Structure 1
């Protein structure tokens, strides 16, 4: 693009940044539904055996993960009048909304085998259509601006809306759609509520994806052009992909994402056990902890850009992440050492609530900083390879995110097994020895995996100064190239 265009592209306005960020709401709603409710809905509500549901979800996840590098590479090299990314995003808006709606609204009267096939087909459709939206959409970050700090702002908005979107739809489902009755006191078996959830969530996904795509459309003239046309063979495609992902800083974030997601899986899977069994909180108290995430997300939106600007992204992620990941298991360690108020006391709940708000804010801020760090790898790689590969990098992060989801569940299940907590056991049926083992397993596992994540981040090599050097080197290379 021209020099004038490159200058303008360095300054996406607030509306553009918000439009990009709102796109994260679609991801947040989808991820929340798939991670927390889909297995429960098909197994407990619709009656499909849990192993069959798990198999369908895993098969869809594998197909989805394999599509990431293909879509990433394709979007890096696509040549259209609407740029490289937006054709994919526009094409995905309707399919992702329709397929998500159908996932939660299967035809009545289907057998368990038919529901298995329906779930398999629809989850593959949802995940593939989301890949066509999510990978190119995230790859816009380094194209929208080369600015070190503005990229942090973009990813901060993205994660903020993803957390807010996922949390809001979860609260809407639990508080307003799943209505208790005499025959269904928990409310979970109110089937019309689940169907309505599918409708509302699909509309939110459609609107968020559409607003983000349309809201960034005006930036298309200022985005990067695809590489020059060249003969592409299968061997050359894979050669370029592997050359791209061999970047040292990318490998560091790739492994950091792996350990971070294992920790997230452990935390999410054991969350109800820690709150309900270890701390003895009521469902109302647990709902209060969930609502507090709104405060955490707002705090993170303020913390991440400041940390990135003052400390730099890598140092900010290391410091903020270290604080977050040592604070998180601290209350559990304190209880195991006899330093916390007794269960059932108001003081205990206030301590855990306060720590949760600030700790989760630090965790989200760390995610925002790491998301922005991926964007800066693009120019570092371009200096080395001569190619811009935004799609490949974000596809790689998406790939490991999907394939590592089951790892956290496996580790969490191992902790429960070692603690001797049986399926179906109520809190008053769990022995103190089992609760102690649960606490140690939870706290030590989280601290270990999170510290491995921090260790991996330490191998990231791009600073503000090296990023500016990369931009200068690329500008000099562009000036040295003959005009077409």
Structure 2
């Protein structure tokens, strides 16, 4: 019988997601325009740096996951990695957000390249074991949705705060010029880095890690593990659908500041972010309960349909349509929480399916592949969008041509909606429901020598 996870343990596990969201959103939403418009990195080079850093990140994530799965330490498989990487992640993040004043374009590009790669190396050492940790805390079909939903809810809350804090600092400073931007990011870098370390320490001290018997630990060649993982049909379907959806979803995050400023003619990007993530966070408990009633796949698809249906109308907006944009953002936000949290719970289910197939627990490896999808989606968002805008004639801090405006709108709203539609078609073939999962768990628990000492 699976023991319930105390709420205090769920909160301690989920809390670091708050800091990770603050750091991640700062990088993807605020850093590109800071480096292009204030520091002076050319837009095309900026896109390539982000793209190549994410390709690098994608290469190391599965390796980090498999190494984490094979770690044997008194603390467990995940905690040693979190303890080792917390402080270096904060240091790299701080240097990334606080470049020296007076760098020329070449120096700024070199600085951005160096610290982006270092930041994402240590970031992977945190995020891969952290997410793998969550997948093994509970094996209950509904409780893992609540647990991972809480984690992803705190991720949304962190994203909300990441929209509010810069706006508060700008109002306090009385403007948004280059010096103010630098000072603002310096405060955010130090604050977010310290918060990450504190919350990870709390997680390490409060949350017990499961210790699996040797029979359930991965063995053999890493290549064989990769082949087995990709042969897991439910995982392949889920991963493909999520990757397509994530690529579409990252384009609006990457281009939000550009769209709001140059298409709508507004400076209220932080307000729009706050509305979107605030509504997504507030409605997440509803989606978690709905998943318990109608199923995870069905809930995810319904949320994608609502999210995309409203956002597709953004294609028809133009200068001054701020009020209508606000309405559409609020409607689109209704499904946002579920598109984040429900796939996380489904991912944990396919990891159990893999144990049923192979007899081994490989959370780290599967999370590594999952993070490849997420990070490559983000990288392609920047790596595709910024060079295209540059080629269309984008000029920083100037009124944009009709060609740039049309291209920006299509990338911001048209491509994401198409991607989500395709993701829904793929996700429909996902086979694991409550009944199948119950049979899988019964067979796993009935095997002799399961070795779970949790």
Q: TM-score range by the shorter chain?
A: 0.7 to 0.9
Deviates more, 1:192-201 or 1:251-260: 192-201
Partner of 1:267: 252
Residues 306 and 335, structure 2, Cα contact 8 Å, conserved in 1: yes
Partner of 2:422: 452
Residues 62 and 403, structure 1, Cα contact 8 Å, conserved in 2: yes
Residues 47 and 384, structure 2, Cα contact 8 Å, conserved in 1: no
- Residues 414-453 of structure 1: CA deviation (Å, up to 9, x unaligned): 88689x67535866x755x986776567554332211111
Deviates more, 1:263-272 or 1:102-111: 102-111
Determine if the alignment matches structure 1 residue 473 to structure 2 residue 443. yes
CA-CA distance at 1:82 after TM superposition: 1.0
Larger radius of gyration: 1
The 3 A distance-change label for structure 1 pair 112 and 327 is closer
CA-CA distance at 1:456 after TM superposition: 1.8
Query: For 1:408 and 1:193, how far apart are their aligned partners in 2?
Result: 25
**Higher RCO (CA-CA < 8 Å; seq separation 6+):** 2
Determine if the alignment matches structure 1 residue 78 to structure 2 residue 63. no
Deviates more, 1:266-275 or 1:366-375: 266-275
Deviates more, 1:14-23 or 1:108-117: 108-117
Count matched residues: 451
Determine if the alignment matches structure 1 residue 7 to structure 2 residue 41. no
Residues 28 and 162, structure 1, Cα contact 8 Å, conserved in 2: yes
Runs of 5+ consecutive residues of structure 1 not aligned to the other structure: 1-5, 336-341
The 3 A distance-change label for structure 1 pair 176 and 424 is closer
Query: For 1:387 and 1:434, how far apart are their aligned partners in 2?
Result: 51
Partner of 2:176: 186
Query: For 2:42 and 2:390, how far apart are their aligned partners in 1?
Result: 22
Q: 2:237 aligns with which of 252, 255, 259?
A: 252
The 3 A distance-change label for structure 1 pair 415 and 100 is closer
Partner of 2:284: 301
Residues 156 and 305, structure 1, Cα contact 8 Å, conserved in 2: yes
Q: 1:207 aligns with which of 178, 198, 201?
A: 198
CA-CA distance at 1:467 after TM superposition: 0.8
- Residues 37-64 of structure 1: CA deviation (Å, up to 9, x unaligned): 3333344333444455444444432322
Query: For 2:434 and 2:154, how far apart are their aligned partners in 1?
Result: 26
Query: For 1:118 and 1:273, how far apart are their aligned partners in 2?
Result: 23
Partner of 1:463: 433
Q: 2:34 aligns with which of 32, 41, 45?
A: 41
The 3 A distance-change label for structure 1 pair 321 and 18 is same
Deviates more, 1:366-375 or 1:354-363: 354-363
The 3 A distance-change label for structure 1 pair 194 and 408 is closer
Query: For 2:69 and 2:372, how far apart are their aligned partners in 1?
Result: 16
- Residues 344-365 of structure 1: CA deviation (Å, up to 9, x unaligned): 5xxx655542332232130221
Partner of 1:224: 212
CA-CA distance at 1:238 after TM superposition: 1.0
Q: Secondary structure at the match of 2:142?
A: helix
Deviates more, 1:394-403 or 1:100-109: 100-109
Residues 43 and 386, structure 2, Cα contact 8 Å, conserved in 1: no
Residues 415 and 441, structure 1, Cα contact 8 Å, conserved in 2: no
Q: 1:399 aligns with which of 372, 397, 411?
A: 372
The 3 A distance-change label for structure 1 pair 400 and 148 is same
Partner of 2:395: 423
Partner of 1:326: 309
The 3 A distance-change label for structure 1 pair 394 and 237 is same
Query: For 1:437 and 1:103, how far apart are their aligned partners in 2?
Result: 29
Partner of 2:112: 119
Query: For 1:466 and 1:393, how far apart are their aligned partners in 2?
Result: 20
The 3 A distance-change label for structure 1 pair 402 and 295 is closer
Runs of 5+ consecutive residues of structure 2 not aligned to the other structure: none
Provide the TM-score with structure 1 as the length reference.
Answer: 0.82
The 3 A distance-change label for structure 1 pair 324 and 173 is closer
Residues 250 and 381, structure 2, Cα contact 8 Å, conserved in 1: yes
CA-CA distance at 1:148 after TM superposition: 0.9
- Residues 260-310 of structure 1: CA deviation (Å, up to 9, x unaligned): 1221233234434554455x35324x4432221353133332222112101
